[in-house]
A and B are shown apart, each in its own frame.
Chain A
Amino acid sequence: MTPALSLTDQPRLRRGVRAGADPLSGETVLLFPEGVLLLNETAAAVIRHCDGCRSVAEVVQEVGTVYRDVVPEDVMSLLWELITQNLLVVDRG
Chain B
Amino acid sequence: MDRPLGLLAELTYKCPLHCPYCSNPVAAPETAELALHEWCRVLEEARGLGVLQVHFTGGEPLARPDLTPLVAHARDLGFYVNLVTSGVGLDQRRASQLVRAGLDHVQLSMQDTDRRAADEITGAHVFDHKMAAARAVKALELPLTINVVLHRGNIDRIGPIADLAATLGADRLELAHTQYYGWGLLNRSALLPTRDQVVAAEQALAQARAVHGDTLEILYVLADYYEPYPKPCMHGWGQRHIIIAPDGRALPCPAAAQIVGLGFDNVRERSLSAIWCHSPAFTRFRGDAWMPEPCRSCPRKGIDFGGCRCQAFQFTGDAARTDPVCQLSPDHHLVEAALRAAGPLHQALRPRVNPR
Contact = CB atoms under 8 A, between A and B. Distances in A.
B144 to A, nearest CB: 8
A24 B52 CA distance: 10
A21 B143 contact: no
B104 interface: yes
B177 interface: no
Contacts of B143: 15-16, 33
A33 B78 contact: no
Interface in A1-35: 14-16, 18, 20-24, 29, 31-35
Given A15-B143, A23-B47, A33-B145, A86 B217 contact: yes
A70 interface: no
A interface, how many residues as a size bin? 10 to 19
B82 interface: yes
A16 B52 contact: no
A36 interface: yes
A23 B105 contact: no
B50 A23 contact: yes
B91 interface: no
B171 interface: yes
B52 A33 contact: no
B52 A22 contact: yes
A16 B105 contact: yes
Nearest to A24: B50
Contacts of A14: 171
Nearest to B172: A33
B315 to A, nearest CB: 28
A23 B80 contact: no
Interface of A: 14-16, 18, 20-24, 29, 31-36, 86
Would you list the 5 A-B pairs with minimal beta carbon distance, nearest first?
A16-B143, A31-B80, A24-B50, A33-B105, A36-B52
8 contacts: A18-B104, A21-B78, A23-B78, A24-B50, A31-B52, A31-B80, A33-B104, A33-B107
